[in-house]
């Protein structure tokens, strides 16, 4: 009996996601769940002052975010049937109310209808859509582990 490994996969990180769609970029906010925030803050806030300085932020980004590059940072984007890469810029991580929060931009000049998804094919990270603000009309499809938006400029 051969069972596929992903059959038993389940998320280890739960990330509450907020998204702002502007004319030339997407603004992302990922808020890590309380348990993982506690563990990550314990590891990354080495001076235990409740603030992540530049060195502590760099450690978090290198250890936990940079490996996501192999899967396009778990960001899928398709415009006019053509898949495109979205590369995060201006990454910033901080602690808010004992939760680790990552914010970043992905530049894109919307010209045609597009599909944007946040999804981890390994099911290691679950992205739960909390809020969307958009200058364009959009539709949402979401599950317990991921979400997609259809954006119509």
H or E, element range at 56: helix 54-60
How many residues belong to the chain? Answer: 153
CB 28, CB 103: distance < 8 Å: yes
Q: What is the pLDDT along the chain (153 residues), one digit of tens a residue?
A: 444 444 455 678 899 999 999 999 999 999 999 999 999 999 999 999 999 999 999 999 999 999 999 999 999 999 988 999 999 999 999 999 999 999 999 999 999 999 999 988 887 889 999 999 999 999 999 998 999 999 999
CB-based burial label for 72 (10 Å; 0-12, 13-18, 19+): middle
């Amino acid at each position: 009996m051969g069972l596929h490994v992903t059959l038993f996969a389940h998320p280890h990180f739960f990330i509450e996601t907020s998204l702002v769609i502007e004319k030339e970029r997407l603004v992302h906010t990922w808020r890590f769940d309380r348990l993982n925030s506690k563990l990550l803050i314990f590891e990354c806030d080495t001076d235990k002052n409740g603030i992540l300085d530049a060195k502590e932020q760099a450690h978090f980004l290198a250890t936990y975010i940079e490996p996501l590059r192999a899967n396009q940072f778990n960001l899928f984007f398709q415009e006019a049937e053509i898949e495109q890469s979205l590369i995060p810029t201006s990454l910033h991580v901080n602690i808010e109310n004992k939760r680790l929060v990552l914010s970043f931009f992905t530049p894109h000049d919307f010209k045609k209808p597009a599909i944007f998804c946040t999804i981890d094919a390994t099911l290691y990270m679950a992205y739960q859509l909390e809020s969307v603000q958009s200058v364009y009309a959009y539709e949402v499809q979401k599950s317990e582990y991921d979400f997609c938006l259809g954006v119509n400029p």
